[in-house]
Amino acid sequence: MNLFHFILQNHEQVLELTLEHLWLVGVSTLLAVLIGIPLGIVSARWPAWNRPVLGAANIIQTIPSLALFGFLLPVPWLGDRADRLAILALTLYALLPVIRNTYTGIRGVDPAVVEAGRGMGLTDSQLLLQVELPLSMSVILSGVRVAVVVSVGLATIAAAIGAGGLGEFIFRGLAMVNNQLILAGAIPAAILALSADFGLGWIERRLQPR
């Protein structure tokens, strides 16, 4: 039977693994946004923090993902549940694009606008919330888009440590030397990544300041 029939026949499993995959990506991206955007704001506002924050995020990104999974496995609370570990690792990898783009976005706001805002008597937080963040939204979202696409890819590797998701099809297929199984995991994963890229890119363009 061809791939299409295979997926149709096993559609429940495909759906379940896809949902697992989305959950891994969704939670980790949300956490990366909740942590990364404030960190980006801090490093933009107080340049002294710029080097340590971006530097740390950079170092994390350099560690090969499978190695990071391996490092975290023996850690007590984390290693007990593979999905916890995977979400932590995915969050860490998603941090750099979010932090860096938040920093760039805020720094990239027209200095005249910032000066006018300051001169008018906007407080730092008003300036941030009403002017700088709205004007950086497009750039920040671009960082989130990169984070999501990277996460979809990394989540397939997370199956190697038992976190589930579409990667499980791929690994099982490899062990059984079964191409259909491999593709049943690889193709939905690729579609997920492409849709996320396309969808978020569309929103990004709508948000660009004129």
Check binding of 78 to other proteins (CB under 8 A): no
Tokens of 139: 């750039």
Q: How far is the CB of 51 from other proteins (least distance, A)?
A: 19
Is 210:138 a contact under the CB 8 Å cutoff?
no
Among 126, 191, 205, 206, binds other proteins (CB under 8 A): 126
Among 90, 131, 147, 154, binds other proteins (CB under 8 A): 131
Check binding of 123 to other proteins (CB under 8 A): yes
Q: How far is the CB of 96 from other proteins (least distance, A)?
A: 21
Tokens of 118: 């300051």
Q: Which helix (H) or strand (E) holds 132?
A: none
Total Cβ atoms within 10 A of residue 162: 15
Tokens of 14: 């495909």
Cα separation, 140 vs 99, in Å, equals: 8
Contact segment (CB under 8 A) with other proteins among 45-53, 59-67, 109-117, 185-193 equals 109-117
Q: How far is the CB of 173 from other proteins (least distance, A)?
A: 8
Label residue 190 exposed, middle or buried (CB < 10 Å: 0-12, 13-18, 19+): middle
Residues that bind other proteins (CB under 8 A): 12-13, 16, 19-20, 23, 26-27, 30-31, 34, 80-83, 110, 112-126, 129-131, 134-135, 160-164, 168, 171-172, 175-176, 209-210
